[in-house]
Amino acid sequence: MSWVEKLEPLLLAGAAMIGLFLGYFSPFGAYGVHLVQPLLILMLLGIFWEIPLNELRRSFADLKFASTSLVINFIWTPCLGFILAKIFLSSSPELQIGYIMLLVTPCTDWYLIFTAMAKGNVPLSASILPINLLLQLLLLPIYLGLFTGLSGQSDPLILVFQIITVLLVPLLAARALVRLARDKPDLKAFFQKVFSGSRFWYLFLAVLCMFASEGGAIVEESDTFLLLLAPVLLFFFINFIFVRGVASALEFNYQNSVSLNLTTLARNSPVALVVAIGAFPDRHLIALALIIGPLIELPVLALIAKILLFMGNKKENSLK
């Protein structure tokens, strides 16, 4: 991972702070709001350009690991997230949506670092990435339509339409560009640099512009971090215990159990943030939840990696 990828959550938090400053003390917000959608399209083009569809089969090389991970990520976790959102965030429908979006989109990068820290099976963890990315793109509109519709926060059909629109246009454009650049190495390298190589900075600027346009309203929501702290921490605690039990019941070895733990705990996906800004441009707390969430998540994942490593070393010493 590059230094940008390693610092991604902090950089996005910095973009939000810069945007708040510019929106509060300058007229930039009135102009920046018009840049958000074009920047998001460029960001999504970069994501969809990189989707390794030809590697999907490799995700199921270890069928037991893949099926267990997918059930936890896409059935257990969304249900757990909905319950926790209703318990802890009932006073804020927007935070409920942001929290659910955070939990239903598995991580597509950071979890590999923590897997390596805990001496887990990194190649196995990496193999599940393509299917995790594809499924979260396909299922995100369904989750939000179902869960937010059940909670009465919005019309689920309108919501699904908005999200599909946000995702579908860049997806079709990206696949068209992939076809156009086929057998044209110079054009492919150009697209790679413009879309894939710069995709984080498009998101950085989109976050900055969005927060600048909502500067005054967001400053008034200074207690958001505290509201999210308990449900985010509780998710990690419950899932850690649950997945450890599942791994033990299925007789996973140490390396594979670490991989299962971290592929089902890490939630730091930029896809959710892009969709939140594109589909909910006037509901800033949703995006704010998706920026604050990873700031809580990263130190927790680092601690979990240390705990897993300690448990592994202790078990290894007891067998000697």
Look up the CATH number of the domain holding residue 81.
1.20.1530.20
> Tens of pLDDT along 257-298?
999 999 999 986 677 888 887 778 778 788 888 888 888 888
Number of domains in the chain: 1
Q: How confident is the model at residue 56 (pLDDT cuts 50, 70, 90)?
A: low
What is the rounded distance in angstroms from the CA atom of residue 102 to the CA atom of residue 311? 28
Q: How confident is the model at residue 155 (pLDDT cuts 50, 70, 90)?
A: low
Return the closest-CA partner of residue 28 out of 202, 201, 215, 204.
215
> What is the average pLDDT across 186-193?
87
Residue 175, pLDDT > 70, answer yes
pLDDT at 152: 47
What is the rounded distance in angstroms from the CA atom of residue 78 to the CA atom of residue 209? 30
> What is the average pLDDT across 125-153?
78
Average pLDDT along the chain: 83
Which positions ≥6 away from 210 have C-beta within 8 Å? 19, 32, 33, 36, 277, 281, 284, 287
- Which residue type is seen at 86? K
Residue 105, pLDDT > 50, answer yes
Higher pLDDT, 40 or 64: 64
Percent of the chain with pLDDT strictly greater than 90:
27
Whether the CB-CB separation of 16 and 288 falls below 8 Å is answered with yes
pLDDT at 140: 85
> What is the average pLDDT across 189-193?
86
Q: How confident is the model at residue 223 (pLDDT cuts 50, 70, 90)?
A: confident
> What is the average pLDDT across 77-83?
94
pLDDT at 157: 65
**Helix (H) or strand (E) segment spanning residue 296:** helix 284-318
Residues for the chain: how many in total?
Answer: 320
Could you tell me the residue range of the domain that residue 158 belongs to?
Answer: 3-318
> What is the average pLDDT across 45-67?
78
Percent of the chain with pLDDT strictly greater than 70:
86
Return the closest-CA partner of residue 97 out of 141, 43, 36.
141
Whether the CB-CB separation of 266 and 132 falls below 8 Å is answered with no
> Tens of pLDDT along 5-33?
677 777 888 888 888 888 878 888 777 77
Alpha helices in 151-184 (DSSP H): 156-181
pLDDT at 318: 63
Q: How confident is the model at residue 217 (pLDDT cuts 50, 70, 90)?
A: low
**Helix (H) or strand (E) segment spanning residue 21:** helix 8-25
Give, rounded to a whole angstrom, the gap between the first and last alpha carbons of the chain.
Answer: 36
> What is the average pLDDT across 128-145?
85
Return the closest-CA partner of residue 266 out of 299, 289, 244, 307.
299
Higher pLDDT, 200 or 317: 200
Q: Minimum mean pLDDT among 151-160, 169-178, 209-218, 271-280: which range?
A: 151-160
